[in-house]
Amino acid sequence: MSTTWVPVVAEAGFGVDNLPYGVFSPQGQAPRVGVRIGDHVLDLADALGDEVFARPSLNPFLETGRARWSEVRARIRELLTDESHRQVVEPALHPLERVGLHMPFAVADFVDFYASEEHASNLGRMFRPDTEPLLPNWKHLPVGYHGRAGTVVPSGTPIARPCGQRKAPGEESPTFGPSTKLDIEAEVGFVVGTGSRLGQPVPPKDFAEHVFGVCLVNDWSARDIQAWEYVPLGPFLGKSFATSVSPWVVPLEALAAARVATPAQDPEPMDYLTESEPWGLDLQLEVELNGQVVSRPPYAGMYWSPAQMLAHMTVNGASLRTGDLYASGTVSGEAAGTRGSLIELTWNGTEPLQLSGGQPRTFLADGDTVSISATAPAEDGGRIGFGAVTGTIRAAECEPAG
Amino acid sequence: MSTTWVPVVAEAGFGVDNLPYGVFSPQGQAPRVGVRIGDHVLDLADALGDEVFARPSLNPFLETGRARWSEVRARIRELLTDESHRQVVEPALHPLERVGLHMPFAVADFVDFYASEEHASNLGRMFRPDTEPLLPNWKHLPVGYHGRAGTVVPSGTPIARPCGQRKAPGEESPTFGPSTKLDIEAEVGFVVGTGSRLGQPVPPKDFAEHVFGVCLVNDWSARDIQAWEYVPLGPFLGKSFATSVSPWVVPLEALAAARVATPAQDPEPMDYLTESEPWGLDLQLEVELNGQVVSRPPYAGMYWSPAQMLAHMTVNGASLRTGDLYASGTVSGEAAGTRGSLIELTWNGTEPLQLSGGQPRTFLADGDTVSISATAPAEDGGRIGFGAVTGTIRAAECEPAG
């Protein structure tokens, strides 16, 4: 790890090899763009004298494109490693505990994929027990769908238990009320910086021209609402009440040491999905429920890479916009304790988790707090931190079924 | 019909009872908000001296809320009916043929419903011939899903035939190439003006507080791509390449005479979907293919009303934003020649349409132009016009399957 004159704990993952971007508000000031270094946030408008950072969203900077992203990152590293800049830069550093953190970017479109073979197979086994767990299209294309951009919220936003219709298989007719199967989905999100023109597909090799960075996503899911509504047009209200994202967006440039090949893909992907260089990522996720680790999903095992997802999303000519967010879908591994949703960890509620204090837990209870964090290998053999996306469940406000 | 001093042809549907909003550019000027009167566009920033209209999108005006929408409409009617204003207002009128028309609003989220019983039943019969045409949830809730907001385009935008994966039922494995089943969906769209807070459902009675007006939508669909990709998460690339909207947004206030009850709903809708006043709409659509009318879908027969769709979309606490667009899904009637998609009109290509000149047509050919228009009853017994949403198919640019 390069050394910085800012006090950092190497193991914490926020040294100069990381430098993730977010939107923060120093006391009494409007939100603006900063990068995290150790337990401080560097005010970029102050430190670089560039007004593109004096905004409440990363989007204007994202629009400047890859060459500028690189220049800015190099300049920040220089300011934070060269002791000669200390006197000038130090006043632009704000202790993390004294700032507010906000939504880091304005979401244009939100797409959610389904790229973990384990997750897709597990859900297939639960929901369609009489058929093959994977549907016939799954290994030919990264299955995905559009979610609600307007309800993507920053980490820390309380999550109200949604109300809606649900009908269990044995029931005669649907009932209305608060979801009784409120779940999480531990996911990784990709933030588009540079848009593309309508009619112009983006091949896998152009991934890093368009995608700026990576964040963590919790795609809250009401399984009972989802199970009743989702045929034939897919998930809707079971997902659209809230999707939480982490406050920090780790730039792709910080992830060079995390790049790995995807698992072997069979059948061979079509040409438009073929990668010339690997864009799998060796991120290690961790899911905490009320402070207790309940899962450690490994991102490296995801079947489809983010470059393949991007190529698929645009192969029909769909354009990209600055601020588009696409997420991987639930990250689930093969081993015990590596699944990224409660429906998998408790096998649809039939095998409760035992929380400390002897509390059994199937789906989320009111008051539960979920925190998803991740780290990735750094170039010097250390780790890079993603921080965490957290949320606490609030009781539903609808009337129970009448 | 009230009389205006502007020359209008009563039968054309653009008198002072209509006054739809759009974004236009007078020669050499930047796009701004106007209302259509006869074959003219009234420049609202000029006529009303309000800078909220000197913008390239309706959104800032939409944000001002229902009371202001009403005031502005009343003032425009006064200016256009009272001869004493003529001298001052006339310079703000631009002949329609001399202005450009643009995307009328910036789309926040786009949701597409599936609210025609005929359409859902027809597609069920074609895609799932061995089961009941309607899935069990269909009469309990308005089925819908999120579409891609970034590829909603204004009327007149050329539509490139999308490429993608498809696999016909008899084929061993999927192939890649231009869609061979490019289709239309004739729909009606609802434009949200006033947003809502996260966690706060919008009941049917508040429909007119939030929805500003109505436009026409052509939800272009690649049926072969859609059929292969859509399980289990719904339509994605088969729809996301383009969705066209009409240049004019007809305010709800202009549609008082068009309001009708929905058809009888059985089973009775749940409380949260129950309307206190009817919001069905007696719009008459017309679909032209290369200038020839191929269908006249009646909107009055739609099973779910737009107020019910809005209530459903928010019952889980999902918030609304200014610029949200939700569409009805394909409008199809029972009678011959009233279906709103080619897949229904040609029964999945097995019963070609005969175009004039003896040309058979199943799905869209390159160069085809589709135009969807609509009218609604006006208060004096005449009709209100919606104008049209049009698009011409361009050849695909992908390489054929290798």
Quick: pLDDT tens for B219-232: 999 999 999 999 99
Contact call for B150 and A321, based on CB within 8 A: yes
Q: B346 and B353 in contact (C-beta within 8 Å)?
A: yes
With the CA atoms of B382, B65, B51 and B324 taken in that order, what torsion angle do they form, in degrees rounded to the nearest 10?
A: -80
Question: Nearest C-alpha of chain A: how many angstroms from B185?
Answer: 15
SS3 content of chain B, % helix, strand, coil (to 5): 25, 30, 45
Separation between Cα atoms, residue A90 and residue B190, nearest integer Å: 52
Q: Which of B151, B228, B316 sits opposite A198 (nearest CB)?
A: B151
Model confidence pLDDT, tens digit, residues A267-299: 999 999 999 999 999 999 999 999 999 999 999
pLDDT (average), residues A311-339: 97
pLDDT (average), residues A64-85: 98
Separation between Cα atoms, residue A270 and residue A267, nearest integer Å: 9
Q: A100 and A24 in contact (C-beta within 8 Å)?
A: yes
Contacts of B309 (CB under 8 A, 6+ apart): B113, B115, B142, B144, B190, B326, B328
Helix (H) / strand (E) element for B118: namely: helix B117-127
Helix (H) / strand (E) element for B165: namely: strand B163-166
Q: Which two tokens stand for residue A318?
A: 């769909």
Q: A174 and A165 in contact (C-beta within 8 Å)?
A: yes
Q: What is the pLDDT of residue B358?
A: 82
Architecture of domain B10-101: Roll (2.30)
Is A219 annotated as belonging to a binding site? yes
pLDDT (average), residues A299-323: 98
Contact call for B148 and A271, based on CB within 8 A: no
Q: Which of A150, A165, A318 sits opposite B140 (nearest CB)?
A: A165
Give the residue from A135, A236, A398 with the most B CB atoms within 10 Å of its CB, the best one to mutate. Answer: A236
Number of cross-chain residue pairs from A and B with Cβ atoms under 8 Å apart: 188
Residue of A110, A216, A328, A229 lying closest to B108 (CA atoms) = A110
Residue A102 φ/ψ, nearest 5 degrees: -125, 180
Separation between Cα atoms, residue A44 and residue B305, nearest integer Å: 50
* 3-state SS assignment for residue A138: coil
The dihedral sign for the CA sequence B332, B335, B338, B344: positive
Q: Which residues of A touch B236 (CB under 8 A)?
A: 143-146
Question: Nearest C-alpha of chain B: how many angstroms from A156?
Answer: 14
Architecture of domain A110-394: Alpha-Beta Complex (3.90)
Q: Which residues of B touch A234 (CB under 8 A)?
A: 145, 230, 232-235
Q: What is the pLDDT of residue A358?
A: 82
Separation between Cα atoms, residue B104 and residue B374, nearest integer Å: 17
Contact call for A199 and B164, based on CB within 8 A: no
Please compute, for residue A277, the number of CA atoms within 13 A of its CA located in the half-sphere on the CB side: 6
Question: Nearest C-alpha of chain B: how many angstroms from A357?
Answer: 32
Contact call for A234 and B145, based on CB within 8 A: yes
Q: What is the percent of chain A where pLDDT is above 90?
A: 94
- Locus of tokens 């004739």: B186
Helix (H) / strand (E) element for A40: namely: strand A40-43
Model confidence pLDDT, tens digit, residues B18-71: 999 999 999 889 999 999 999 999 999 999 999 999 999 999 999 999 999 999
Q: Which of A149, A236, A272 sits opposite B144 (nearest CB)?
A: A236
Q: What is the percent of chain B where pLDDT is above 70?
A: 99
Question: Nearest C-alpha of chain A: how many angstroms from B28?
Answer: 25
Q: B322 and B108 in contact (C-beta within 8 Å)?
A: yes
Separation between Cα atoms, residue B239 and residue B148, nearest integer Å: 8
**Nearest-by-CA chain B residue for A235:** B233
Q: Omega of the bond prior to A20 within 30 degrees of 0, cis? A: no
Separation between Cα atoms, residue A25 and residue A191, nearest integer Å: 21
Q: What is the pLDDT of residue B357?
A: 84
**A124-133, A327-336, B186-195 — which is least confidently predicted?**
A124-133
Q: How far is CA B122 from CA A36, A179, B117, B170, B239, in A?
A: 55, 32, 8, 22, 19
Q: What is the pLDDT of residue A1?
A: 53
Separation between Cα atoms, residue B306 and residue B378, nearest integer Å: 19
The dihedral sign for the CA sequence B145, B149, B150, B156: positive
Q: Which of A165, A198, A233 sits opposite B235 (nearest CB)?
A: A233
Q: What is the pLDDT of residue B21?
A: 98
Contact call for A229 and B320, based on CB within 8 A: no
Contact call for A316 and B163, based on CB within 8 A: yes
Question: Nearest C-alpha of chain B: how many angstroms from A119?
Answer: 13
Separation between Cα atoms, residue B182 and residue A206, nearest integer Å: 28
Q: What is the pLDDT of residue B399?
A: 61
Contact call for A229 and B319, based on CB within 8 A: no
Q: Which of B135, B167, B176 sits opposite A272 (nearest CB)?
A: B176
Question: Nearest C-alpha of chain A: how many angstroms from B179?
Answer: 9
Residue A399 pLDDT > 70, yes or no? no
Q: B96 and B225 in contact (C-beta within 8 Å)?
A: no
Q: What is the pLDDT of residue B279?
A: 98
Residue A400 pLDDT > 50, yes or no? no
Q: Which two tokens stand for residue A220?
A: 């809250």
Q: Which residues of A touch B272 (CB under 8 A)?
A: 176
Separation between Cα atoms, residue A348 and residue A341, nearest integer Å: 10
Q: Which two tokens stand for residue A124?
A: 């297939």
Is A239 annotated as belonging to a binding site? yes
Q: What is the pLDDT of residue A402?
A: 39
| All CATH 3.90.850.10 domain ranges in chain A, comma separated | 110-394
Q: Which residues of B touch A137 (CB under 8 A)?
A: 165, 167, 174, 228-229, 231
Model confidence pLDDT, tens digit, residues B70-97: 999 999 999 999 999 999 999 999 999 9
| All CATH 2.30.30.230 domain ranges in chain A, comma separated | 10-101
Contact call for B229 and A199, based on CB within 8 A: no
When the pLDDT of each residue in chain A is averaged and rounded to a whole number, the result is 96
Q: What is the predicted ipTM? A: 0.97
Give the residue from A316, A393, A394 with the most B CB atoms within 10 Å of its CB, the best one to mutate. Answer: A316
**DSSP string over B192-236:** E-S---TT----GGGHHHHEEEEEEEE--EEHHHHHHH-TTT--S
Contact call for A317 and B241, based on CB within 8 A: yes
Bridging pattern class, strands B383-394 and B159-160:
parallel
Contact call for B236 and A315, based on CB within 8 A: no
